Structure 1
Amino acid sequence: MPAASQPRSLSIRIGERLPMKDQSLEIVEKKGKGHPDSICDCLMEEASCALVQLYQKYTGRILHYNLDKGLLSAGQAAVAFGGGRIITPLRMIIGDRATLHYLGQELPVWDTVVESARNWIRRNLRYFDPDQHITFQSGLNPGSRELMGIFTPSERQVLKANDTSATVGFAPFTPTEELVVSLEQYLTSACFQEKFPSAGEDIKIMAVRSDQALDLTIALAMVDRFIASESDYFDQKEAISRSIADFVRSRFDASPLQIHINTLDERGRGEDGIYLTVTGTSAEQGDSGQVGRGNQVSGLICLMRPQSGEASAGKNPISHVGKIYNYLAHILAADIYQHVEEAGEVMVWLASRIGEPIDQPALVAVELIPQRGKKLAAGYQKVIAWRVEQHLEGIGDLSQKLILGEVSLSHLSF
């Protein structure tokens, strides 16, 4: 193995706690793609990819932008058994910074952003009409000259960091985390939606594992056009609950297993006492959304693990460390986990300093937790240093994958 040049500051330590899968308590949350917060994240990420293509088409390079400030303001709906209607459309407020002109020419930034958002909705929310159910408001303005200067062409291929930030990643997923990811995928799968057309895309799963006991609380928006009455609603909810139980038991050995769906429901109140929607998302009336309040880059919200403070969605993929380092931390953790045989769990922290090259982080901190009953083999520090160096040298390749949308926000597989 060639000798690795050290990053500016590499810290390697042995963790003393148990790996998460071996701890007695675990809490994992996931918001489905129809949740208002997830809609915000996905629309801004879609717009980010569209802006990259726009800038490259008109200028041959990526100009300064960051679309990481977005708010989805809930509308008003009148739900009804057999089908209701949208009274007031949702409003999506899109910010923050974008280059609107190049060499005196106005670029079609806003039209590009809005059309990309509508296209995402068409592909992902089957009962939501992007031309009728939502409006868009611009909060886009050019950035500061200092930050825009980071994008000025130079001989250096790797740009400077446009922020001082820190992120964290981990590997591997625990069985609980894997279950939550797969359960959300099942609930939005074609086979499930064909069997239960009343199930919308707005899903929120909260899993609490206490030793081997698993408690699942699930919010699942139901679409009113497929519900004939209150009794029909509860019958369908019970059938969905049985389907979920069968799915979970086939993948997770829980003893006992408890499943709770739409726990605010109250019999006897008709349409006013159950979780009904017109479009399959609570954003039509019940809940607004905001970028950064949804799932982390891992695709989950792992309450028992360290969390990154940066929202990745919408940030530019070539200089914003809040995006690049978020992904890199998870990728590094997964790679180290795979190459250190005795590792039971790996955590990686990355810290940047604004103005410094993104391939030279101010800090790389790695924490290894050995598997139960195992000691780390001699030389593991060299293995880690080498893996870190290789990924930092390849950070441009990661940026390119982010540009092309080849690294998903939803789930990094370990």
Structure 2
Amino acid sequence: MEILEDPIKSSENARHMGVRVSELHQVPLEEQDLEIVERKGVGHPDHICDAIMNEVSVALSKEYLKRYGHVQHHNIDKALLAAGEVQRRYGGGEVRRPMLMVFGDRATYDVDGDPIPVDELAVDTAKKWLKKNLRFVDPDRHVRYQVELKKGSAALTDIFKRQGKFFGANDTSAAVGYAPLSNTEKIVLQTERYINSPSFKKEFPETGEDVKIMGAREGKDLTLTVALAFVDKFIENESQYFKRKAEVEEDVNRFVRNRVKFDSANVNINTLDKRGRGMDGIYLTVLG
């Protein structure tokens, strides 16, 4: 089935695309035999980069609006969080070399000779986000910052100097969206949010924010595989680690089973762990 808007009647409208709605011929996702869903939590490096760059774009847009009444050209969507170096230790380790946060892409640094403190704004925004979302990360001691944002090209920045009701687009892009979430998607998202909730952290303070969940549904059976960083200052030895991990696993299993209607639902945490291997056999971190 395909539905097309009324025929285009003028050259002005000729630049606009019609709306097309097509039917997708496939087995609904919930009825398919296999479904795999992944969620990277708030402390995962990928999530950190995306969230910080989004906040930088928002902060920069607000600064542009305050100064000039409209948003200036910028592309703030590329970042790198390079690993630091730590010494893990039961009872609390130390950071030997801080992480490196690199900001990339382009921004408008001045308008008609009026400078905008883009670099300072980017770093300040990142520090605020880290302080708000990661309990054990000190934005000043544990992270270094490298701003590699450059000025936008003349052809793109000029768009924002042109008169008219609307600015022209500075890029071509396509967006994909869908709704509603499947039951598997819902429980994976809910579980990550639960593990990183204030109430969970109060009950299990040794769990960090770096969480990744892989949900696999085979028919009516669901398995969640969770990678969950533990913080070494709360753990005195290997035995305590496995004891607390078992308690966390029991709690998360209860949370999941109370919210799904699958034939079976199982949560497995840090499946690479192996007793007797010491620090090499457990998922222990300094900053979580």
Q: Name the TM-score class by shorter chain.
A: over 0.9
Give the residue type in structure 2 aligned to 1:85.
Answer: E
Counterpart amino acid of residue 164 in structure 1: T
Aligned residue in 2 for 1:246 = 254
Q: Does 1:260 align with 2:268?
A: yes
Indicate yes or no: 2:119 matched with 1:110: yes
Is 1:162 matched up with 2:170?
yes
Partner deviation per Cα, 1:181-240 (whole Å, 9 max, x = no partner): 111110011111000000101000000001111111100010111111101000111001
Q: Secondary structure at the match of 2:172?
A: coil
1:189 to 182, 197, 208: 197
Matching of residue 276 in structure 1 with residue 280 in structure 2:
no
Map 1:192-211 to 2 at 5 A. 192-211=200-219
Partner of residue 73, structure 2:
64
In structure 2, what is the equivalent of residue 74 of structure 1?
83
Aligned length: 277
Structure 1: which 4+ aligned runs deviate by more than 3 Å?
Answer: 4-7
Q: Could you tell me how far apart the structure 2 residues matched to 1:198 and 1:183 are?
A: 17
Q: What are the equivalent positions in structure 2 for 1:239-388 lying under 5 Å apart?
A: 239-280=247-288
Deviations 1:311-332 (A, max 9, x none): xxxxxxxxxxxxxxxxxxxxxx
Residues 331-373 of structure 1, C-alpha deviations (whole Å, 9 max, x = no match): xxxxxxxxxxxxxxxxxxxxxxxxxxxxxxxxxxxxxxxxxxx
**Aligned match of 1:387:** none
SS of the residue corresponding to residue 251 of structure 2 reads: helix
Q: Deviations over 1:3-48 (max 9, x none)?
A: x767613322222212211212111000001000000001101111
Aligned to 1:366: none
Letter in 2 for 1:224: D
Once residues 199 and 152 of structure 2 are traced to their aligned partners in structure 1, the CA distance between those partners, rounded to angstroms, is 45
Q: Name the counterpart of 1:95.
A: 104
2:33 counterpart (24, 30, 38) = 24
* SS of residue paired to 1:63: coil
Stretch of structure 1 that moved more, 9-18 or 44-53:
9-18
CA distance, structure 2, for counterparts of residue 58 and residue 170 of structure 1: 37
The two structures, once aligned, show a CA RMSD in angstroms of: 1.6
Give the distance between the partners of 1:153 and 1:56, measured in 2 at CA.
Answer: 16
What fraction of aligned residue pairs are identical, expressed as a percent?
45
The corresponding residue for 2:49 is 40
Distance in 2 between residues matched to 1:49 and 1:113, nearest whole Å: 10
The structure having more radius of gyration, on CA atoms, is 2
SS at match of 1:50: helix
Q: State which drifts further: 84-93 or 267-276.
A: 267-276
Offset from partner CA, 1:87-125 (integer Å, 9 cap, x none): 100001101101112221321111111001000011100
Residues 1:142 and 2:151 are matched in the alignment: yes
Alignment of 1:383-394 (within 5 A): none
Report what 1:350 is aligned to: none
Give the partner amino acid of 2:136: Y
Give runs of aligned pairs for residues 211-250 of structure 1, distance below 5 A: 211-250=219-258
Residue range with higher mean Cα deviation, 134-143 or 4-13: 4-13
What SS is found at the alignment partner of 1:52? Answer: helix
C-alpha distance in 2, partners of 1:181/1:189?
Answer: 12
Quote the Cα distance in structure 2 between the aligned partners of 1:218 and 1:148: 45
1:13 partnered with 2:22: yes
Quote the residue 2:10 is aligned against: none
Work out the CA distance in 2 between the residues paired with 1:272 and 1:150: 55
Runs of 5+ unmatched residues, structure 2: 8-15
How far the C-alpha of 1:258 sits from its partner, in A, is 2.6
C-alpha deviation, 1:153, in angstroms: 4.3
Whole-Å separation in 2 of the counterparts to 1:41 and 1:146: 27
Question: Is 1:178 aligned to 2:190, yes or no?
Answer: no
